A and B are shown apart, each in its own frame.
Chain A
């Protein structure tokens, strides 16, 4: 503990080392996002993420969006452990046959009003896996999708900006 405090005092704020261009992008998008979420979602937008057969890169970037540099949570977006607490469902992966039921059950467990976001190239149309015998492909044929975040995988900044553009439109 003493070590941590000493380090904190000596090192100051660690995030100051990062690329200033990135910081200003994140900050400006984030501030706007925050005011929109304050207004529309009474201060917080809760997202439940479901992997329906992704390779793990999208998950890694969604986790990165929660790291101290991007820190989505400070803008009012939190990733929750249960679909019962969620406003939105974030789907990654091309929907394998084995995950079809789990995806539907997760959606059904969410309280109304709710909406679905897809993240990465796979859930749009199956991506590289669309011709497979074991893949359903597009999530929009299964659930009502309002927002798609393209990329393989989309970077954390892409995710933040896509959410912002989406909330501005509505």
Chain B
């Protein structure tokens, strides 16, 4: 390694930890003429941050842009003969980044397990295809990752950290001018933000909740097709998709080319599912396809009744449990039963995706049994509580009577002593 190269690395590192300011660097201009010259002429990239991941890994400006950072002459340092590329053309950016990121031999030195197929994936994406077709407004690497403020995805400040991905995508997908030209809507972010997933991620900070890329992919981003929707949702909601796929409804959806999950739950604005989805007497989703009296209508009606009954009994049992706890009685077995009952209710709601009223009814019987058992136990505890009170009352009465007897005996003795003519 050349001595100058070592100096440059040290200097870049020092900038990174904030020991030296660019002003100090100017005194050492022979070591990195890119930085010294750009600082002097106030031409540093606007998005430049010292914590940039490339700078931290010791990559200098020339590492991406080429040229000779040791040459003092601008023409020489930025000469194409010295490999100077400058700012890559918009359409060339994927290849520009891919120079290193597509080479496992190079990348594994820095991150042994990093994937190197981003560029290839990108070209399969809608963004990549449109870019190749000459669309200069679609996203490429720097649109999401930035140019000089790139941070690891696990860093919460990174534009591609799960917390920030919805906003990063929205920078373009929320731009009405940009999207209008491409015939796209711009309400994805606002829909997502109020959805069950959006609230979990953006408000509760639950990184287990999906951001845009979890459904649409990262570098190979494309809208999921009719078949892949179920795969995407099913990657987290395993049981739901298994039940659905083997159900009659799943087969009908497949033959009708419907977007399985999306058909009922929507896409970006997925709300917390409610039992009311099945309430055919009010505004059930089922009524979009089924009508009063048909098989689907009756199945939905039966499943709704079973779930509501099981839930009502569970809620009643919860109230009993609360009462037991307030009374300070033994709640261990009741709480355990209700934990099982709650689990049953979750399973019951998942089993709705079988669209099989008999299966759901069977599960509901099990759940109602658990809650009933808990209520029965709570009744025993209440009975025991009352028994204790009554027992205490009787014992207290007995002790009070005894105390009164002793008290009157004392008085009798005292009075007998003050008046000896009285008999004891």
Q: Bound pair: A and B? A: no
Interface residues of chain A, those whose CB is within 8 Å of chain B, are: none
